[in-house]
Each structure stands twice: as structure tokens, then as C-alpha cells.
Amino acid sequence: MPAELFKSVEESLSINRVLEVLTRLVSFQSVNPGGNEEEAARYIGEFMKAVGCEVTLQEVEPGRPNVLAVLRGTGEAKAVILNTHIDVVPAGEGWSGDPFQLRVEDGKAIGRGVMDAKGPLAAMMAAIEAIARSGKRLPGDIVLAAVVDEEAASKGAKALPVNLEASLAVIGEATNRTLAIAHRGSIRPVLAAKGVAAHSSTPHLGKNAVSLMAKAVVALDAFAERELAERRHPLTGQSSLAVTIMNGGIKESMIPDYCEALIDRRLIPGESEERAIQELMDVLEAEEALKGQLHIARMVPTTGAASETDVNHPVVKLCRDAISAVYGQQDTTVTGLTANCDMTHFAARGIPSVIYGPGDFSVAHKTDEWVTLDELLNAARVYARIALEAATMRN
């Protein structure tokens, strides 16, 4: 990429423009659950169309559209995808101001989604706008894929067009000046115990489903502490299992004949969903008192499997170099996320993928969510540099 091209793009980027976009994005209460991303999606689409992109609103569910905005290149190189999500988690209580009205205090932008993930989205939009205004048509397309439902089951990323291809996908999530190339996955099986109802004064005439589930939880906790805690990935940390919801019983004087427990199982790269489910059932069947007493009633949808990009892949070097150049740091650390993200769905398509975004992930989903203005501007510069580099790699 010609140095003068990036210089002109970088100089046209300003924190005021990023904040202008972010202010609008934060004002849309695209809270999940709620399924109300449409208003924000329409704003994103209008903005990107004004920039010069071809825009498609892809309806995933009624009133829940993905935004696909393409800044066309000459076709001499593959596309690069900038992806993040439109939805945010509920604001909750305890905010020092209106969570859906952006505030700037002490060099920080504060509001729901400023870090997860409307900050990355605003930086991506500003970066593509600056590239478009440079007047330079690149060999490859630059695609903004702003998706719905990442905070629940990634319905948006899962529904992206099957013909979407690229040499690189950059997923916008907070990485604190590092480049993440791996993330954990999750499955959420709902375990069910079937008992026999009876009067609570004669418990021996029934079979207590809650008691069965309690024994199952003890066995699963022991398995998590004994085995899963020892399974570690150098970038994403350990495997884990936790029982997060339990329901059983309908009347204080009845022996409960049914009980459910939701299992939150976090997977590290290399662990398959199928093997994790089989392993869970093997643990329960190994207990004499539980044999044949429990089954998986259903699976609660999640973002999906763990994924990882080889640290030696050329796109990893390209992205590390871009981050290093913008931040003026000697070398950019390679890390991983302990949580899920939509990278898994791009990796499943065979698209080399990485994760980068402004902010510290520990702030995610918290009251008075914040990101620094410096981080926001640097993120726009990083996205612009990565897009320019990737879109000029000839086929």
C-alpha cells in the first residue's frame, strides 16, 4: 500500500467524526433481547450509501436486518470484511446518566455499547468513509458486515450470504491494543431429570427429580474441577462448565417429578461441541444412581464453537503490523478472547479471521461502559490501515 495513501486517509480521520457516528449509534436502543436493531440498521445503511457503498439490508428476522455495505474495488483482489454487531445488552440499573445518550467526560466516551460493540462499528464506518473520500479505487472490495443478535445466538452472522468471501475478516471486539486470533466457544444443553410425583409426606412412594439433579450437579462440578480446569489453551484460558439455571417442583407438598438445569459449557479451540456433549453424558452415566435418569431436553442456541487462526498466517502479520504502526509500539501482542464472538462463523467459511477493537474487554456489559477517545480514533486508523493493506493484496 502506498504510504501517501494511508497518510491522506489517516489525516482525514477525526475523533469528532467518530463521535458523531457513535452518538447516533448509542441513541438507538438496539437491546437484545428485544430484537429491535432495525432503526440502527437503517441509519447505518443510509450512512454507508451516502459514503458511496452498495448497501443491502438483509432481514434475518422481521425487523432485524443485517447491514451489508460494499465499497467496490476493481476486482483484482479479494475483499476484506470489517464485521461487528448492532445489538447491545440491556443497560441495567445504576448508570450515572442516560445509558443511551453518549457522554464525553475526562477523555472517555460513556454509554451502552461504546465498547461492545458500537465503538468498533463507528470506527469501521468512519474508516470506510475516509477511504471512499480519498477517491482511490482499490483492487479489492471493502465490506462492512454489521450484524444482529451477536449478544444471543449470532443469528445475524449465521445468516450472512453463502457467497460472502474474503481474504480477511476483522471482527470488532475490544482487545486493548492487542490482536486476538482465538476465542472460546459455548454450548448450553438443558439437562432434564424425570422423577415420579408423590405426596411429600410419603417421599418413598415417589422419585425426587430435584434430588436426582442435585446429584448430577455434584458430579458435573467434580468433573469441571478435576478435568476441565486442567484443559488450557495458551490464548483463551481453560475449559469450563457451570450450572447457571435450575428449575424443578410445582407445589410445596409434592415430590417433584421433573427438574431441568441449564449447563453453560465453555469450549477452547480444539474441543468439539459433539465431544463435549458426549463427555457430559458419560460423566452422568458413570454414577450408578444416575444411570438412565437424565437426558438432554434441548439445546439453548449460543454464538457457537471456538475458533483459532494460525499465528503464522500472513493476515496475522498484516494486522499486527497495522496495529503496531498506528500505536507506535514495537510489536503487537497476540491474544485470545475468553468469551464467544462471531469470528467462528467467518472461520467456518474458510475466511482467515482476527479480532481487534478499541477498549478493555473487562468493561463489557458493565454499568457506565466506557472507552477512551484515543482508543476510538486509533481503532478507526487501524481498521483503515488493515482494509487498505488487505484490499491491495492481488489475487
Evaluate if pTM is beyond 0.75.
Answer: yes
Label the pairing between strands 232-233 and 237-238.
antiparallel
Q: Are 68 and 55 in contact (CB under 8 A)?
A: yes
Query: What CA–CA distance (Å, rounded) separates 296 from 280?
Result: 10
Classify 70 as helix, strand or coil.
strand
Does the pLDDT at position 2 exceed 70? no
pLDDT digits (tens, 9 = 90+) for 131-174: 999 999 999 999 999 999 999 999 999 999 999 999 999 999 99
Phi, psi of 355 (to 5 degrees): -125, 125
Classify 100 as helix, strand or coil.
coil
Grid cell digits, residue 3: 504510504
With a pLDDT cut of 90, the percent of the chain lying above it is 96
Residue written as cell 445509558?
99
Domain boundary among 277, 300, 323: 300
Residues 270, 243: one domain? yes
Does the pLDDT at position 395 exceed 80? no
Classify 285 as helix, strand or coil.
helix
pLDDT digits (tens, 9 = 90+) for 209-266: 999 999 999 999 999 999 999 999 999 999 999 999 999 999 999 999 999 999 999 9
User: What is the number of residues in the chain?
Assistant: 395
Residues 137, 12: one domain? yes
Provide the domain count of the chain. Answer: 2
- For residues 57-69, give the mean pLDDT: 97
Residues 292, 194: one domain? yes
In a domain? residue 168: yes
- For residues 311-340, give the mean pLDDT: 96
Residues 364, 230: one domain? no
Grid cell digits, residue 170: 476483522
Grid cell digits, residue 180: 486476538
Amino acid at the residue 250: I
Residues 280, 312: one domain? no
List the domain range (segments joined by +) for residue 198: 187-300
Residues 361, 380: one domain? yes
